Structure 1
Amino acid sequence: MDNIEMKEKVGKSQVADQVSPIPSLSKIDLAEAMKKQNDVYMFLAGKVISTLAKTSNLVFSPASINAVLIMAANRPEEEETLRSFILSFLRSSSTDELNAVFGEICSVVLADGSASGGPKIAAVNGVWIDQSLSVDSSWNDLLVNSFKAEFAQVDFSTKGEIVRMEVNAWASRHTNDLIQDLLPQGSVTSLTNWIYGNALYFKGAWKEKFEKYLTKNKPFYLLNGESVSVAFMSNYENQYVKAYDGFKVLRLPYQQGRDDADRKFSMYFYLPEKRDGLDNLLKRLTSTHGFLDSHIPIYKDRVGKFRIPKFKIKFGFEASKAFDDFELNVSLYQKAFIEIDEVGTEAAAATAMRRLVGSPSMMPKMIDFVVDHPFLFLIREDRTGTVLFVGQIYDPSKSD
């Protein structure tokens, strides 16, 4: 296979080593813009789940989708129809606002913290443009310096399949080989104008790990009334857990790095009281402004029964099947993976978008938190509210 030379090779999650042309917003405006994008993330989750995986396991990365859409919106030569659609879809007033949000996410959320004991994070962007198209110098500078994108001009007219294989190899390389065959055969042709890609990798250790000797097989109840036997993790620690009307929330913090004072990563579990209550909970979560921020366990509580299933799943989809609005000769593909065990979490996602021509009480009550029926989960950076991964589990015994 021919090797396509990328004009800019940038290491994983490098975020501030060059002067960035990304505009700045006031702290208030940036905070509001971040909240809007977090609502968009949950809207995306609702659309994907309701359309493609209503009652099955799912994991995907709204943050990865967000990255490729913002890159596409920034190309000066792009037709206004697509740019207007992206701004509307992301509920933003301008590309400047989107770029400011992206800059904040890069500098706070996506910086690798493994050297200081925090989560290992790799976030890389890639752009493949047909050699017949012009490349504006200011746009190229934005890609390289701000988006840290690997860039290549390619020949889609005669080497579309070679480019597809190169993009897939790029996605695999930057996700620790967890994401394979991102772009399906036949998806890149002589009619392709460009491809924007994002690869995201996360590996974090629990702040309080689970002892393996406490892991026991227990029943997990399915929607059809049957059950499957799966491995459940447990411990005797107090937990960040809170009961709300019709559901409970658990927050499991990841270990922070020594220089991670400005960010905190956590995994959240949203458990409906009713075994068949996940659909109603999802509707509330995805349609209520600020739902995540208003349902966060702040204090540790005593727990009675406490079990969380181990699981490993992967999921892939084409966004045009989930979003009716993608009618602009644009296709968006994503594959994602997540695995949790006693030590922590490993998760990855890759996205490719291509375009064709044309105060606590003194004695807190005990709360049971037994995740033995379908539930929702997400991985979130708590300071910015950025959701890296979101998903649901209907049967943890299935890995695909």
Structure 2
Amino acid sequence: MRDHMRHLSLTLVIFLLLTHTLFAEVSPMKSNDAEALSQANTRFALDLYAALTAGKDDNVAFSPFSISTALAMTWLGARTETATQMQSTLRFESGAESAAASFEGLLGVLDAKDKPYALALANRLWGQKGYDFLPAFLELSKKHYGAALQEVDFQGDPEKTRKTINDWVESKTAKKIKDLLAEGLIVPDTRLVLTNAIYFKGKWKTAFDKGDTFPAVFKSPGGDSDAQFMTKEATFGYADTLTAQLLEMSYDGDELSLVVVLPKATDGLADLEKGLSVETLETWMASFAQEKVLVQLPRFKAEGSVRLDDTLKDLGMKLAFSDDADLSGLNGRTDLKITAVVHKAFVEVNEEGSEAAAATAVVVGPKGAAGPSDNNVLRADHPFLFLIRHKSTNTLLFLGRVTKP
């Protein structure tokens, strides 16, 4: 067996590739728009990943696509320097309305019907009843993001409204995302909540046999732990670089796939993370050839729950959270600011396939308010990073890492 084909016990990166092979034929997006949106979303995703993993070695799971979508909807209401900061943080070169038009095309492709997998996305505006939101903002949100306004009574019953929003999120994510808005996050002064929810479930094209799953040690940073390893020898997309092995396993329909990137250095996760870039991802995705591979991958669940206020401020979005915010595109006045951005995500990979869900909420309130064998062998028995990615448009839908299955 060639040296680089030996049993490997190394850190790895997993990509769940959401692939649409007919994208060019069915998408209303222009190729330049699709590429610009992909570049912006990927750069923002990697910025978030670096911020959320800095100085930590625990599990991380989030949907950069969900966060980007919710913030891009909010960006439609931002003006002056507040809008400039949001544009820079979200990594867009075009303006909010141009980005919204690109999102409209992408959402139309991703929210697929009559497929052998489930992939659903939903956006909604929750506004104080009787509040004078600008018609232009409501129209653009509905047209480009499918985000209709649902009037609620924050002022009269904030707790009931919080539960209403959480119930909606739960219904859109097959009950995988619960209690997105924590108790106390919605107050009588809340005027608007912008939400995004995303759900994915797909079965493997070549399924793992549960009878072949075996117990083995997973080398976690804090000490070894027990894990259940799925195993399968079959023909998959495979590539071998100087520093890593790459694997692509398709789901039913051949439009979605899981991609694993396994560093050759046992302690290679940190170096791998430092080298993550749009260009690196593109190079990896273009390098696959069909080869026979013996895969040994742990079953895992990864969940994440995070409040993103400080992270987004550190990435350059300070004004939107301050009393100097200009969200006058929402109501024609400069009396509102973002009071909270919250996000939850769930990813599970097992013998049958994968399931993932996430939701994001941007809370807006008045200024002054407080914020709330001879073949290739890939043995994944070390911490790994994972992505859910739409291959044709290079859009990252989920991103995270597992340090203990």
Which residue is equivalent to 2:341? 332
Structure-to-structure mapping, 1:135-214, within 5 angstroms: 135-214=133-212
User: Cα gap change, 1:203/1:367 in structure 2, threshold over 3 Å: closer, same or farther?
Assistant: same
Which residue is equivalent to 1:57? 59
User: Cα gap change, 1:146/1:36 in structure 2, threshold over 3 Å: closer, same or farther?
Assistant: closer
1:293-323 deviations in Å (ceiling 9; x for gaps):
11124212233x5300001121100012433
Q: State the SS of the aligned residue for 1:293.
A: helix
Which residue is equivalent to 1:80? 80
Which residue identity is paired with 2:198?
A: L
| Aligned mates of 1:29, 1:175 — CA distance in 2 | 28
Higher mean displacement: 346-355 or 161-170: 161-170
Q: State the SS of the aligned residue for 1:395.
A: coil
Which residue is equivalent to 1:13? none
| Aligned mates of 1:270, 1:255 — CA distance in 2 | 21
User: Cα gap change, 1:135/1:320 in structure 2, threshold over 3 Å: closer, same or farther?
Assistant: closer
Which residue identity is paired with 1:36?
A: A
Which residue is equivalent to 1:111? 112
1:266 aligns with 2:257: yes
1:394 aligns with 2:403: yes
Which residue identity is paired with 1:381?
A: H
Kept in 2, the 8 Å contact 1:195–1:353? The answer is: yes
| Structure 1 runs not aligned, ≥5 long | 1-23, 258-263, 359-364
Q: State the SS of the aligned residue for 2:180.
A: coil
Which residue is equivalent to 1:385? 394
Which residue is equivalent to 2:289? 299
TM-score by length of 1: 0.82
Which residue is equivalent to 1:249? 246
Q: State the SS of the aligned residue for 1:71.
A: helix
User: Cα gap change, 1:155/1:81 in structure 2, threshold over 3 Å: closer, same or farther?
Assistant: farther
Which residue is equivalent to 1:125? 123
| Aligned mates of 2:90, 2:228 — CA distance in 1 | 39
| Aligned mates of 1:277, 1:236 — CA distance in 2 | 25
| Aligned mates of 2:37, 2:146 — CA distance in 1 | 22
Work out the percentage of aligned pairs sharing the same amino acid.
28
Quote the offset at 1:156 in angstroms.
Answer: 2.3
User: Cα gap change, 1:138/1:311 in structure 2, threshold over 3 Å: closer, same or farther?
Assistant: same
User: Cα gap change, 1:227/1:381 in structure 2, threshold over 3 Å: closer, same or farther?
Assistant: same
TM-score by length of 2: 0.81
Q: State the SS of the aligned residue for 1:302.
A: strand
| Aligned mates of 2:110, 2:120 — CA distance in 1 | 11
Which residue identity is paired with 1:73?
A: W
1:375 aligns with 2:376: no
Kept in 2, the 8 Å contact 1:223–1:276? The answer is: no
1:227 aligns with 2:236: no
| Structure 2 runs not aligned, ≥5 long | 1-27, 322-337, 368-373
Which residue identity is paired with 2:89?
A: F
User: Cα gap change, 1:191/1:85 in structure 2, threshold over 3 Å: closer, same or farther?
Assistant: farther
User: Cα gap change, 1:186/1:203 in structure 2, threshold over 3 Å: closer, same or farther?
Assistant: same
Which residue is equivalent to 2:306? 317
Q: State the SS of the aligned residue for 2:49.
A: helix
| Aligned mates of 1:82, 1:48 — CA distance in 2 | 23
1:67-106 deviations in Å (ceiling 9; x for gaps):
111111123xx44343222211112221133113212221
Kept in 1, the 8 Å contact 2:343–2:359? The answer is: yes
User: Cα gap change, 1:50/1:167 in structure 2, threshold over 3 Å: closer, same or farther?
Assistant: same
Runs of at least 4 residues of structure 1 off by over 6 A? none
Kept in 2, the 8 Å contact 1:123–1:198? The answer is: yes
1:18-67 deviations in Å (ceiling 9; x for gaps):
xxxxxx8743344234223222222222222226xx21111110110011
| Aligned mates of 1:347, 1:199 — CA distance in 2 | 11
| Aligned mates of 1:220, 1:27 — CA distance in 2 | 42
User: Cα gap change, 1:255/1:25 in structure 2, threshold over 3 Å: closer, same or farther?
Assistant: closer
Which residue identity is paired with 2:111?
A: L
1:82-141 deviations in Å (ceiling 9; x for gaps):
3222211112221133113212221222323xx342x20111111112235323333323
Which residue is equivalent to 1:95? 96
Kept in 2, the 8 Å contact 1:338–1:347? The answer is: yes
Kept in 2, the 8 Å contact 1:25–1:97? The answer is: no
1:351 aligns with 2:337: no
